[in-house]
Structure 1
């Protein structure tokens, strides 16, 4: 398959504004490259997220795109909701876990590092929540 036909996945942080109110990792999949990479498609992408890294989809991911009517499909992991509860380490781990069947460990680490760096730049005072939550172990 020629490179131009390869669909991309964009990873970034959702832009907060009038539409979106919650901090989230935003993972946007192209469903067809022509509309996604034109000016309008790129404007939509920039309005939705601060893209920090991108990769090409694998064959299985591209097959799923064939049946879509939209040019993009987005998945979000919400930062301040359960089970993440404001933990950068937890959200990055969950995102990596979601990609494990399609993305190499090295690339998942690269994605996590890019997301971490962008988050820390925008949230300089961030501290990982201390695990002072009560855990109930029923054995």
Structure 2
């Protein structure tokens, strides 16, 4: 069996989805996901901007699922993100740190940032009164 993929993108807003969200789709099996029907389903769910292959640990989790895709979303306008693109990208990067190298995480963040700014040209980062960064 080949490697399964992870698709990063922005959720499409429409009749079902009403909120802006960063969407991360994990393939659970290759045949259904890579078929024309699977790719059409993916295109209706999100605007994909970056793809990578899953690690062995991520693939083991996918084998226990009964759907062809598993989606994880970070809603942009809800807590703890509160409309901040940079905070959204940081949370996504932190969630990937056990499986993805720092260089690849930076590429993912840059691709997501570029796609978001193209779709939302008037976006400005919300100002916060106090921000603490622990490293």
When normalised by structure 2's length, the TM-score is: 0.94
Q: Find the counterpart in structure 2 of residue 105 from structure 1.
A: 102
Structure 1 unaligned segments of length 5 or more: list them: none
Structure 1 residue 34 displacement after superposition: 0.7
Name which of 32, 40, 49 aligns with 2:46: 49
Q: Find the counterpart in structure 2 of residue 114 from structure 1.
A: 111
Q: After TM superposition, what 4+ stretches of structure 1 lie above 2 angstroms from structure 2?
A: none
Q: Find the counterpart in structure 2 of residue 130 from structure 1.
A: 127
Q: Find the counterpart in structure 2 of residue 94 from structure 1.
A: 91
Structure 1 residue 41 displacement after superposition: 0.1
Structure 1 residues 5-39: Cα deviation after superposition (integer angstroms, max 9, x where no partner): 10000000000000100000000000001100001
Structure having the higher Rg: 1
| Aligned partner of residue 19 in structure 1, secondary structure | coil
Q: Find the counterpart in structure 1 of residue 57 from structure 2.
A: 60
Name which of 62, 66, 73 aligns with 1:76: 73
Aligned length: 131
Deviates more, 1:38-47 or 1:124-133: 124-133
Structure 1 residues 94-134: Cα deviation after superposition (integer angstroms, max 9, x where no partner): 0000000000000000000000000000000000001137x
**Over the residues paired in the alignment, what is the CA RMSD in angstroms?**
1.1
